[in-house]
Amino acid sequence: MRGSGVILIVLIFGHLFVNLMLDGGIHAIDFGFVAGKYAAPFWQWWDVLMLWFALIHGANGMRTIVNDYVTHAGVRKVLVWALGLAAALLIILGTLVVFTFDPCNGVLEDGAMWETCQALVK
Ligand code: HEM
């Protein structure tokens, strides 16, 4: 928990600094900004690592709390399993979203997003 805590400080505060403070800051965040980040492997891996570490750290911390406070063995087992399954599902879905993201998916040639998405996939 301490090791992942230190890694999370770097990942979370790096994420907040780049998204909210650099260049146009929070006002620059729109679809193009996010799609631009996901066109870069560096930011794909940054976000995926942040997702994995936050979910594993958070679910493991919740497991500690459940083990500390839930006295009924059966209920404890159900809750710990639910935590593990929820974390695993979110890790799989989030990782798929980051690595399969396609800014042109569903965008029509005469749509407002066409030029933005074409510039991103080049
Ligand atoms: C800057 C980011 C973070 C740092 C430095 C950090 C650090 C820590 C540390 C050192 C512990 C262990 C405390 C102990 O052993 O008593 C802990 C526990 C915990 N963390 Fe984090 N954490 C961070 C982010 C998160 C996030 C994003 C979540 C949720 C997704 C989370 C959820 C928890 C939970 C549920 C516990 C267990 C608390 C307990 O045992 O009572 N943390 N954290």
Give the model's pLDDT for residue 121: 74
Residues with CB under 6 A from ligand 1: 1-2, 5, 8-9, 12, 54, 57-58, 61-62, 64-65
Nearest CA to ligand 1 atom 18: 61
- Of ligand 1's listed atoms, the one at least distance from the Cα of 8 is 2
What mean pLDDT is reported for the chain? 93
Domains of the chain in start order, with CATH, are: 2-121 (1.20.1300)
Give CA separation, 41 vs 7, 16, 45, in Å: 19, 18, 6
- Could you report the per-residue pLDDT of 2-41, keeping only the tens digit for each? 999 999 999 999 999 999 998 888 888 888 888 888 989 9
Under 8 Å between Cβ of 44 and 94: no
Predicted local confidence at residue 122, as pLDDT: 67
Buried b (16+ CB within 10 A) or exposed e, 34-68: ebebbeeeebbebbbebbbbbbebbbeebbeebee
When pLDDT is averaged across residues 104-110 and rounded to a whole number, the result is 86
How many residues in total does the chain contain? 122
Q: How close is the Cα of 55 to the center of ligand 1, in Å?
A: 11
